[in-house]
């Protein structure tokens, strides 16, 4: 099977796809600003020309099936593929059906959902969870702690910012535990790395901008403090109890909806950003309660969908064959 990618030259895929060893075709497209503006007019013009660019890519690549990863980049490609009678599918990463997917859904044969959310296209949907990258697969805890030079014994708190950083959460963590507290592994994201590193005053507070061994980083910890974007599925696959602090400005408050799924499963506690002051006592209580941690960890494992990528791949192959 030969897999290629398409996306914007101005977004993170322009770096990540080649780094992963795949070919990338690019076309110009941007998201739609929510208010009338020059930027909105430009976005509409790009959206109008994007399907033509996508059809050129498809005629060269001649794929058997097209998968849209959600977001504004996927829409024009899914639409263009449908006009060429190429089977198409969409993925929705969050517990909120985004605008781009709503617009693209009529042209897709199948919609893979991470969460059991309502949509007008129910007959097309299948709930599979969110695919987990190979680098995020869990490892034995002792191996994870050895990799990141963490104490072999005792409880470890993991703090995980977003890829681009989660400044308020990163600052809160280092202000709270930078001088004293439990051993911590803190993955900040590139933007906030220097800010956090400068404030740490102890050896057992490990700070990383990012890591290719993300699964090992999660596995090294006993409790996770993080946003509730896509990584919640990686925490679940590792069976890690989580305190989830949704990004307060996420579209449709989808990070809160993501978090709520795991709260209802019994594996996570959601704390709104305005209530961050409650977190230190919550962390102290959880790290001191072996029985509760074990129960939450088991609940996360029960909620996990570690085979999501395989399920999607198997159905895409079947679509191509049909």
If DSSP codes are grouped into helix, strand and coil, which group holds residue 313?
helix
pLDDT at 43: 62
Indicate if 134-303 has the same CATH topology as 5-130+307-321.
Answer: yes
Over the Cα atoms of the chain, what is R_g?
21
Residue 79 CB partners (closer than 8 Å, separation 6+): 51, 54, 104, 107
Structure confidence at residue 72 (pLDDT): 80
* Backbone φ and ψ of 125, nearest 5°: -90, 150
Which pLDDT does position 28 carry in this prediction? 80
Q: Would you kindly state where each structural domain of the chain is located, as residue ranges?
A: 5-130+307-321, 134-303
Q: What is the CATH number assigned to the segment(s) 134-303? A: 3.40.50.2000
Tokens of 128: 């599979």
DSSP for 41-106, written as a single string: HHHHHHHHHHHHHHHHHHHHH--S-EEE-SSTTHHHHHHHHHHTT--EEEEE-SSS--HHHHHHGG
CA distance linking residue 223 with residue 294, whole number of Å: 10
pLDDT of 322 reads 79
Q: Strands, E, within 215-257: which ranges?
A: 223-226, 242-244
- How many Å apart are CA 242 and CA 74, to the nearest integer? 31
Q: What is the pLDDT of residue 31?
A: 66
Q: Residue 252: phi, psi to the nearest 5?
A: 65, 15
pLDDT of 273:
94
Cα 145 → chain centroid: 23
**Euclidean distance between CA atoms 110 and 45, whole angstroms:** 28
- DSSP symbol at 251: G
How confident is the model at residue 88, as a pLDDT? 96
Strand 88-92 relative to strand 110-113, pairing: parallel
Q: Tokens representing 252?
A: 């449709």
Per-residue confidence (pLDDT) for residue 33, from 0 to 100? 59
Any idea which fold 5-130+307-321 has?
Answer: Rossmann fold (3.40.50)
Instruction: Identify the pLDDT of residue 270.
Output: 98
How many angstroms separate the CA atoms of 94 and 117, rounded?
9
Looking at residue 48, what is its pLDDT?
A: 64
Placement of tokens 């987990």 in the chain: 132
Output the pLDDT for position 61.
Answer: 96
pLDDT mean by block of 10 residues, the chain; 322 residues = 88 88 87 62 64 94 94 88 96 90 93 94 95 94 97 97 80 96 96 94 95 97 96 97 94 93 98 96 98 98 96 95 84
């Amino acid at each position: 099977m030969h897999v290629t990618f398409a996306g914007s030259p101005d977004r993170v895929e322009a770096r990540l796809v080649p780094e992963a060893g795949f070919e990338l075709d690019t076309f110009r497209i941007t998201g739609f600003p929510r208010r009338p503006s020059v930027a909105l007019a430009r976005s509409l013009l790009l959206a109008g020309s994007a399907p033509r660019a996508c059809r050129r890519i498809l005629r060269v690549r001649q794929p058997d099936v097209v998968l849209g990863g959600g977001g504004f980049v996927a829409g024009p490609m899914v639409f263009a593929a449908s006009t060429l009678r190429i089977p198409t599918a969409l993925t929705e990463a969050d517990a909120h059906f985004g605008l781009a997917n709503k617009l693209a859904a009529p042209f897709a044969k199948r919609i893979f959902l991470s969460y059991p959310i309502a949509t007008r296209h129910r007959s097309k949907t299948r709930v599979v969870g969110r695919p987990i990258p190979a680098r995020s697969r869990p490892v034995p805890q002792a191996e994870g702690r050895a990799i990141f030079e963490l104490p072999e014994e005792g409880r470890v708190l993991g703090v995980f910012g977003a890829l681009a950083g989660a400044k308020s959460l990163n600052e809160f963590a280092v202000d709270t535990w930078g001088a004293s507290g439990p051993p911590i592994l803190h993955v900040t994201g590139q933007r906030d790395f220097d800010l956090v590193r400068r404030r740490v005053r102890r050896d057992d507070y490990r700070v990383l901008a990012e890591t290719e061994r993300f699964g090992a980083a999660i596995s090294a910890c006993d409790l996770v403090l993080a946003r509730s974007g896509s990584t919640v599925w990686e925490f679940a696959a590792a069976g890690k109890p989580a305190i989830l602090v949704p990004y307060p400005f996420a579209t449709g408050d989808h990070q809160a909806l993501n978090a709520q799924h795991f709260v209802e499963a019994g594996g996570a506690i959601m704390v709104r950003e305005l209530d961050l002051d409650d977190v230190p006592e919550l962390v102290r209580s959880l790290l001191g309660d072996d029985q509760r941690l074990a129960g939450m960890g088991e609940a996360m494992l029960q909620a996990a969908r570690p085979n999501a990528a395989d399920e999607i791949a198997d159905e895409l192959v079947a679509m191509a064959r049909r």
